[in-house]
Structure 1
Amino acid sequence: MSFKSWRSYLIFKNSVDTKHRYILDEESKEFLNSIIETCGDRERPLKAGSVVWRAQNGHSWRPYYQHDPETEEDIHIDDFPAPFPKARMKPLVDSAAEGRANSKGIPCLYVATDKETAMSEVRPWLGAILSVGQLRLTRDLRVLDFSVEQGKDNLHLYFQEPAPEEIVRAVWSDIDNAFSKPTKASDLKSEYAPTQIISEFIKSKGYDGIAYKSALAGGHNICLFDLEAAEVVNCAIYEPTKIIFDFKRIEEH
């Protein structure tokens, strides 16, 4: 089974955004099944023991005491920034925030392939202190890679349906770019609906997670469906020293 049209992702997105989200129509179901049928060499094995990274804005405090020899008491002098405790570096099981690959209340573990990408993804500001955890995969995992066509000719347009292999490439380009698209705090949460549904479908097929290209740094993000698939082995604090913005003009219509 292949995608019916080069517009298949766009049709699916419009349907779940504006028509059917929890009870999918037949065309949306066929689209999801086509993802599995065409994913081909996008399956990626992740070995147990591999290292990934996770960052969060914020930190804990470590109290500093001095011993007073006269009173034999430890006197609290100050508090210094310290990393969040290991348990705090994972999402809460019962109150997960909504994300690109998970609905509110259904936690996933978002990690990155390097610490720079992990830190960039939380969009820190100058002067912020971040808690950055190094995690180790606890078992062999199988994830689907949604980065293959990211950034490649996403502005395709056909006046008639192209060859089947070109349809597959065009649709996967739309899917890959949807996962890596930067979001703003002002975006509607419904913007996540298409990628959340795709992710949940991938999970139902026995995969352990998905990987997609970061739009903010050079690495990849990985969404693990099982919070226990990785354990925090250590944590440190970082602060951004430089933030660089790049701008493009938006054409007026």
Structure 2
Amino acid sequence: MEEALTHPEKHLGPVPGGKGSPGRMNAKGISVFYGATDDHTAIAEVRPPVGSMVVTARFDVIRPLRLLNLNDLASMRPHRGLSYFNPIRRSLTERCAFLKDLQRQLTMPVMPDSAESGYLITQAIADFLATHEKLNLDGILFPSVQVQQDTSPGQNVILFNKASGVERLEDTQKAEYVSLWEPDEDRLVYYPEYWEAEPKDSDQSSRYVPLVPPPEPSLRLARDGIVIHKIQGVRFSTEIDPVHYVPWSQDRKYHGFR
């Protein structure tokens, strides 16, 4: 936790290119930014166990971004003024059905053990959208499968690599002092804080130039908006399917799929 607070932009922002595990919208080693529109959704997405701690932070958008909202795809319908006998309506209906299925594919739950293979379809679609010149998308807004939609209005957001840049990634931007505990008479009190370092002149900054230049910054971490959450409980919503019991009898003729 202290290491993360020493330079939160590096630890809470996207991982460097070539590192990181595969995700719903990125292949292994492809650096993207995953976030959410509220703390509750962000915490649910990392699936924390009870007793663990989760750090969330607010990122401010500092340049215009063009995002595809997947919620809008499922709600698209042909114009009601089009006749059902109009061939154009049939074509539009088929396209709307495709977009609805696309939204379902992109938000389908995948178990952690199956992530590497289960995300192949969504990774391919995201890569297509990220590189499509005419669409010119910076990212995607999509509902979280970890949160009931009627309990939280929050959404997930992915910013493609070209739009995932974060300000203050230089080593000169590290904090001067970080502490999680504060002495109070004969005991320690949990009081996380970090002190920003004195700004350095350009002459003191690193002259290192990376081989692959980082993307133009789109985000700025609000250093006064970092919160540590102690996970004390987890809620589940379930759909119940009873197991039908069939007692033995001489008249029973088959078993298995009906």
Is this a same-fold pair by TM over 0.5?
yes
CA distance in 1, matches of 2:75, 2:231: 27
**Cα distance, 1:216–1:84 mapped onto 2, change above 3 Å:** farther
Kindly provide the CA deviation profile for residues 16-38 of structure 1, in whole angstroms up to 9, marking residues without a partner as x.
Answer: xxxxxxxxxxxxxxxxxxxxxxx
Count of residue pairs the alignment pairs up:
168
**Cα distance, 1:151–1:84 mapped onto 2, change above 3 Å:** farther
Moved more, 228-237 or 113-122: 228-237
Kindly provide the CA deviation profile for residues 225-252 of structure 1, in whole angstroms up to 9, marking residues without a partner as x.
Answer: 1221212213220123331112223588
Q: Highest CA radius of gyration, 1 or 2?
A: 2
CA distance in 2, matches of 1:99, 1:88: 17
Unaligned runs of 5+ in 1: 1-58, 63-81, 153-161
Checking the alignment, whether the CA contact within 8 Å between 1:84 and 1:131 is kept in structure 2 is no
- Residue 230 of structure 2 corresponds to 239
- Select 2:119's aligned residue among 185, 188, 192: 192
Question: Does 2:15 align with 1:92?
Answer: yes
**Cα distance, 1:115–1:204 mapped onto 2, change above 3 Å:** same
Unaligned runs of 5+ in 2: 77-88, 166-217, 244-256
Q: 1:143 deviation in Å?
A: 0.9
- Residue 135 of structure 1 corresponds to 59
Kindly provide the CA deviation profile for residues 94-125 of structure 1, in whole angstroms up to 9, marking residues without a partner as x.
Answer: 30221111111111100111111111111112
Checking the alignment, whether the CA contact within 8 Å between 1:150 and 1:173 is kept in structure 2 is yes
Kindly provide the CA deviation profile for residues 120-146 of structure 1, in whole angstroms up to 9, marking residues without a partner as x.
Answer: 111112111001111111210001111
Q: If the length of structure 2 is used for normalisation, what is the TM-score?
A: 0.58
CA distance in 2, matches of 1:61, 1:223: 25
CA distance in 1, matches of 2:140, 2:230: 28
- Select 1:202's aligned residue among 129, 147, 163: 129
The one-letter code matched in structure 2 to 1:172 is L
Kindly provide the CA deviation profile for residues 72-95 of structure 1, in whole angstroms up to 9, marking residues without a partner as x.
Answer: xxxxxxxxxx69733210232130
Give the root-mean-square deviation of aligned CA atoms: 2.8
- Select 1:113's aligned residue among 37, 44, 48: 37
CA distance in 2, matches of 1:114, 1:83: 24
Checking the alignment, whether the CA contact within 8 Å between 1:97 and 1:107 is kept in structure 2 is no
1:139-150 matched pairs, under 5 angstroms = 139-149=63-73
Moved more, 114-123 or 168-177: 168-177
1:40-79 matched pairs, under 5 angstroms = 59-60=1-2
The alignment partner of 2:35 has SS state of strand
